[in-house]
Structure 1
Amino acid sequence: MSILSTRGWLSMQPEKFRAAILSQGVLQHFAPGHVIYRLGDALGGIYGLVSGTVTVNIAPSDHTPQLIHLGAIGAWTGEGCFLTRQPRRLELRALVETSMMHVPLDTLDRMAAQDAEVVRYVAQSVMMGVDVLVRVIHDLQIPEAARRIAAVLQRATWIGEVPVPLTQAEIGAMANASRKQVNAALQRFAAAGWISNTYRSITIIDAERLRRFAAQGDGG
């Protein structure tokens, strides 16, 4: 798909490898709420987000996965199975109607057998995921709840210029904030003109002001 050639990890890879991934991948479609894979699932391939929105849910292996992030168009996930031969380390779930490019594990194995550089290309995707987790952890360390909520909303704009399909409870989970804190923050941000919101979605009007408020407080 052309979107995967121009956005995210695959767009940064050599043309030959990029073409091989796109030609051997399979486009799959998922209904809202469908679990693409679960924490602890058996080995599998990688997935690239073509359209829609997915939730990334993580936890230690003996706990229930919790929502921490929304996948951006062009992002890829699932590389751990290829690199480590260990089960899935997170849960991936479609939040809305979603399409993903799936490259099976055996396909990646064949590519790596023909070109050892494939391992390095895939490892770059892992490091991009680490960068995202660093941002998530940084945002969770912000002391004030309203600023954490602003950081979550600003980060949610990575899914594109579309309404953010999150409830107040889901925003609270991502920001480690109560429903009361989320409701108060959303009212504050709406009054400032930074967002407009309904029960199940939020439209970001001024992502830069949200970013500044998350970073500095005092009205951004």
Structure 2
Amino acid sequence: MVRRSKWASALSPADLEHVLGSMQERQFARGGCIARAGQLVEHWMALIDGFAKMSVASEDGRVSTLTGVSAGVWFGEGSLFKHEARRYDVFALRPTRVALMPRRTFEWLRGTSVPFNHYLQDLLNARLSLFIGALEHERLLDTDARVANCLASLFNPELYPDAPRFLEVGQTEIGLLANVSRQRVNVALQRFQALGLIRIEKRGLRVLDPGGLRDYKAESGNALAGEAERAQRPASGAA
């Protein structure tokens, strides 16, 4: 997985072997805590395989999911930059393998590799755009559009350049990522399948039209705007 990363292809063979020699691999069972909020961040992480979620929890136990994390995605660079404690939890949603790059290697790459720094800049910009979009969708769009956006976010080419079209993901997991019920996810997926955006399969779903999922929010937003406009019109025959 590391060798396939965009930044790794720009390293010399010797530098790449140096990086690989410093890294560790850990395995987590479903429900396992990959990283805990409040812990000082000492590694840059990436999922080798599996599926995880980033979430935050309030003191009274309420949990809000920030985003999903699938294979090939690196995370945790922001806290490494600022030398601060992690501000979110990361939990495995299925058996997951994680690659860990120690801080010293991360800082060495920052100091010696221009392509690595360009990759980090692109990654931060993509993640910022993802979270701004998620906030917009949470506040302005209906449930179907939020589910569509959740699925589309897993095909962001800057975060998931090699994302497979088949997602081994269950409706419960999608519900956790989109912050909606499993039953509501099922309704949305049936609609997406009828529109030719996805195909529901035995162990997950196959995305047929990632662009259509991304654009679904526009259709939903227009529908909501139309409903609001109709609600503001005076009733027919009113004095």
Common topology (TM > 0.5)? yes
Please give the alpha-carbon distance, in whole angstroms, between the structure 2 residues aligned to 1:198 and 1:85: 43
Please give the alpha-carbon distance, in whole angstroms, between the structure 2 residues aligned to 1:211 and 1:31: 31
Which whole-Å deviations, capped at 9, do the CAs of 1:35-70 have from their partners, x for residues lacking one? 111111233211122222221223568865422322
Per the alignment, residue 23 of structure 1 pairs with: 21
Counterpart check, 1:136 vs 2:130: no
CA drift at 1:78: 1.8
Please give the alpha-carbon distance, in whole angstroms, between the structure 1 residues aligned to 2:135 and 2:5: 24
Seen in structure 2, the aligned counterparts of structure 1 residues 43 and 163 have a Cα distance that, compared at 3 Å, is closer
Per the alignment, residue 174 of structure 1 pairs with: 177
Per the alignment, residue 99 of structure 2 pairs with: 101
CA drift at 1:102: 0.6
Please give the alpha-carbon distance, in whole angstroms, between the structure 2 residues aligned to 1:178 and 1:115: 45
Seen in structure 2, the aligned counterparts of structure 1 residues 41 and 198 have a Cα distance that, compared at 3 Å, is farther
Q: What is the TM-score when the length of structure 1 is the normalising length?
A: 0.74
Per the alignment, residue 169 of structure 2 pairs with: 165
Q: How does 1:21-60 map to 2 (within 5 A)?
A: 21-59=19-57
Counterpart check, 1:205 vs 2:208: yes
Give unmatched runs, 5+ long, in structure 1. Answer: none
Per the alignment, residue 111 of structure 2 pairs with: 115
Seen in structure 2, the aligned counterparts of structure 1 residues 178 and 116 have a Cα distance that, compared at 3 Å, is same
Which whole-Å deviations, capped at 9, do the CAs of 1:188-217 have from their partners, x for residues lacking one? 223333334379733323333322322324
CA drift at 1:25: 1.5
Seen in structure 2, the aligned counterparts of structure 1 residues 160 and 61 have a Cα distance that, compared at 3 Å, is farther
Q: How many residues align?
A: 211
Counterpart check, 1:148 vs 2:152: no
CA drift at 1:72: 3.7
Seen in structure 2, the aligned counterparts of structure 1 residues 130 and 43 have a Cα distance that, compared at 3 Å, is same
Which one-letter code corresponds to 2:215 in the other structure?
A: R
Q: What is the TM-score when the length of structure 2 is the normalising length?
A: 0.69
Seen in structure 2, the aligned counterparts of structure 1 residues 193 and 108 have a Cα distance that, compared at 3 Å, is closer
Per the alignment, residue 189 of structure 1 pairs with: 192
Give unmatched runs, 5+ long, in structure 2. Answer: 224-239
Instruction: Report if the CA contact (8 A) 1:139-1:152 is conserved.
Output: no
Please give the alpha-carbon distance, in whole angstroms, between the structure 1 residues aligned to 2:179 and 2:24: 36
Q: How does 1:62-101 map to 2 (within 5 A)?
A: 64-101=62-99
CA drift at 1:97: 2.6
Per the alignment, residue 231 of structure 2 pairs with: none
Please give the alpha-carbon distance, in whole angstroms, between the structure 2 residues aligned to 1:37 and 1:48: 12
Backbone CA RMSD of aligned residues: 3.6
Seen in structure 2, the aligned counterparts of structure 1 residues 43 and 184 have a Cα distance that, compared at 3 Å, is closer
Which whole-Å deviations, capped at 9, do the CAs of 1:57-114 have from their partners, x for residues lacking one? 23568865422322243321122342222111111122223222211234445x27x9
